[in-house]
Amino acid sequence: MEKTEESLEKLRKTLDRYRKNKTLVAPEDLKGRYRIPFQNLQQQLKMELKEYVIGYCYGGLKFFQSDGQHLLQQIRDEIKRSGIEKEISVAAFREYDLQRIQQITEKHKQQVRRIWVAYFQNHTTAEKALLFREETKNE
């Protein structure tokens, strides 16, 4: 969880820098002389958003490699259905609202956990034990 907190703090700082740029710098300057640095800041914000969401929502999930593609496809379908990407984009790039990003991410985490629980319940007790034995061996 410490890594997630670190990525959240990085995201907070970058989001604040982005908000300051958008609100204090003239739009023509952001499109003109500051275009390249501002585009780099946008890319950094996208990358840090992705890092935070992935770490928070998917950290600690264990699954068999053979089941990975199927499980990931279910999650991708849920992402498309839920519209989380658009919601997070609006919260970050238009509203500059870290609290809203956290709320959306928490909602998505619950969706991902439901998919994972359904996946996990389809396995026998021995398979579940093997999954978690692999987890402790890798730590």
Q: Where are the domains of the chain?
A: 2-138
Judge whether 52 and 11 are in contact, CB under 8 Å. Answer: yes
Specify the 3-state DSSP secondary structure of 132.
helix
pLDDT tens digits, 18-75: 999 999 999 999 999 999 999 999 999 999 999 999 889 888 777 777 777 888 888 8
For the segment 89-95, the average pLDDT, to the nearest whole number, is: 96
Which pTM value belongs to this model?
A: 0.80
For the segment 97-117, the average pLDDT, to the nearest whole number, is: 92
Judge whether 67 and 119 are in contact, CB under 8 Å. Answer: yes
CA dihedral 42, 92, 71, 6 (to 10 degrees): 80
Averaging pLDDT over each range in 22-26, 76-80, 127-131, which range is the top one? 22-26
pLDDT score recorded for residue 130? 60
